[in-house]
Structure 1
Amino acid sequence: MEVVKNLNFPKAIQELLPKLLGSALQIVVLATIIGFIFAIIIGFLLALGRVSKNKILNRIIIIFQEFIRGTPLLVQMVYIYYVIPIIVNIIASLMGFTNYTFNIKSTTAGIIGLAINYGTYISEVIRSAIISIDDGQMEAALALGFSPREAMLRIVIPQAFRNSVPVFGNYLVMMVKDTSLMAYITAQEFLMTTKAYTAQTFLTIESYTIVAGVYLVICIPLGLLVRLLERKLNKGRR
């Protein structure tokens, strides 16, 4: 009961909330938008490689996907942030660039990790959508004089993209929540900002309740928008 009496939500809201809605929110929005855009680009490239007839390329992509999906996103972020710069600096040193120092900013490392990780999952969504398109449409496009590449880019991919949009929305909501993992590579997003504030004030219950509320305020409306978009797309197909 003593803990309950000592709760000070007004103070935590007054001091922590502006920090969360300031620079921390900017990092979360930046990481989500840029990470998601590159995840879709990576997903499309991997999906096109998977549906190609090049067996070597197909095998390389499968190995890459299994490697990424077989390791946690947090480990990937930590590896990009801490290990990749060490490897690059060692290679640079061996090549004679002794004064060269390579570093990756924590936000950049987080964005790269999000983009690559989500890109591998999105690629399977796009690949499935491409495969689901009726073969007759490709044959009709070829009969009209389209090259296989033109038919893929102008006929198949636009339909596959439209069919994948609802799933993209779900991944977007998940990515917003996964930006919290960037705290472990010192990016000053929601969780890292909350941890720093808690260490200074010891308002643990108040601080983490507030940050949970911020995530809810962002993710619930975003999830509702995704479901609304999904319903509109489903109506458009009828």
Structure 2
Amino acid sequence: MVFKILAEYGTMLLVAMGQTLLLALWSLFFACLIGLFVGILSVLKNRICNAIATIFVDIIRGVPMIVLAFFVFFGVPMLMNDTLHWSELFGSKFMFTALQAGIICLSLNCGAYMAEIIRAGIESVDKGQMEAARSLGLPYWKAMSKVVLPQAIRTMIPSIINQFIITLKDTSILSVIGFPELVNTAKNVNANVMRALEVWFIVGVMYLIIITLLSRLAKRLERGLNRGRE
């Protein structure tokens, strides 16, 4: 029965896996930008910046992903349409596609964790590196981008890949807003064939293959970085 399902719905499931990877990649890209901004705010010697970073991380990490997904997909458009009267200003109602809402939701969630990864990476670099760069006349931001961050990235890469794996698995939550990722597509396939055991076995194997490959990549990079420090 597994082979019969693969023969009939294999292409559909592969396309859904591609959509899942695309969503995870876009989310990781924007999460890195968010994480970089918030992570730098958290290491600045400024209490207001530190407080902003802490509040963002605590709020996003404290809200379940499914709640965040519903808020972005349903709540934000409702706020824009009812409060700001979007349709009167622009002639049509404000709304997100499932892909847009999914990217925003995952980017915010992943960005909060990326901020902590980046903060830890920056703090792992010897403080003397920043002091030496500043003593040579480099402005703070140039010293951060040219001296500190390149060294911090070496320690962050394995954690970033691990966070990508977590984000990839979190895409399954977005089936609640109708995004055609792998889990949502598997639900539709199961509704047609009524073979839950075989369908979810196939989906589990697909996730297992991708995540195993990414995990091995993270371990290889970590070993390479450790050898580079010796």
Shorter-chain TM-score tier: over 0.9
Q: Which residue, 113, 130, 140 being the options, matches 1:138?
A: 130
1:43 match: 35
1:236 match: 228
The question of 1:172 aligning with 2:157 is answered no
Q: Report the alpha carbon displacement of residue 132 of structure 1 after superposing the two structures with TM.
A: 2.0
Partner Cα separation in structure 2 for residue 113 and residue 98 of structure 1: 25
The question of 1:110 aligning with 2:75 is answered no
- SS of 2:83's partner is helix
1:4 match: none
Moved more, 86-95 or 139-148: 86-95
Cα gap change, 1:144 to 1:196, in 2 (>3 Å): same
Q: CA RMSD in A?
A: 1.6
Gaps of 5+ in 2: none
Task: Give deviations 1:60-88, integer Å, cap 9, x for gaps.
Answer: 22112111010111211121111111111
Partner Cα separation in structure 2 for residue 99 and residue 169 of structure 1: 43
1:202 match: 194
Contact 1:35 1:111 in 2 (8 A): yes
Partner Cα separation in structure 2 for residue 98 and residue 224 of structure 1: 49
1:221 match: 213
The letter of the residue matching 1:28 is T
Q: Report the alpha carbon displacement of residue 230 of structure 1 after superposing the two structures with TM.
A: 0.9
Q: Report the alpha carbon displacement of residue 52 of structure 1 after superposing the two structures with TM.
A: 1.5
Partner Cα separation in structure 1 for residue 124 and residue 3 of structure 2: 54
The question of 1:163 aligning with 2:119 is answered no
Partner Cα separation in structure 2 for residue 102 and residue 11 of structure 1: 43
Number of residue equivalences: 230
- SS of 2:134's partner is helix
2:9 match: 16
Partner Cα separation in structure 2 for residue 27 and residue 85 of structure 1: 24
The letter of the residue matching 2:3 is P
Q: Which residue, 23, 39, 48 being the options, matches 1:31?
A: 23
Contact 2:86 2:94 in 1 (8 A): no
- SS of 2:84's partner is helix
Cα gap change, 1:98 to 1:46, in 2 (>3 Å): closer
Contact 1:129 1:161 in 2 (8 A): yes
1:70 match: 62
Mark the structure with the bigger radius of gyration. 1
Task: Give deviations 1:27-66, integer Å, cap 9, x for gaps.
Answer: 1121111100111111110011111123223212211211
Partner Cα separation in structure 2 for residue 112 and residue 41 of structure 1: 12
The question of 1:151 aligning with 2:143 is answered yes
Gaps of 5+ in 1: 1-7
Contact 2:87 2:94 in 1 (8 A): no
1:87 match: 79
- SS of 2:137's partner is coil
1:185 match: 177
The question of 1:126 aligning with 2:118 is answered yes
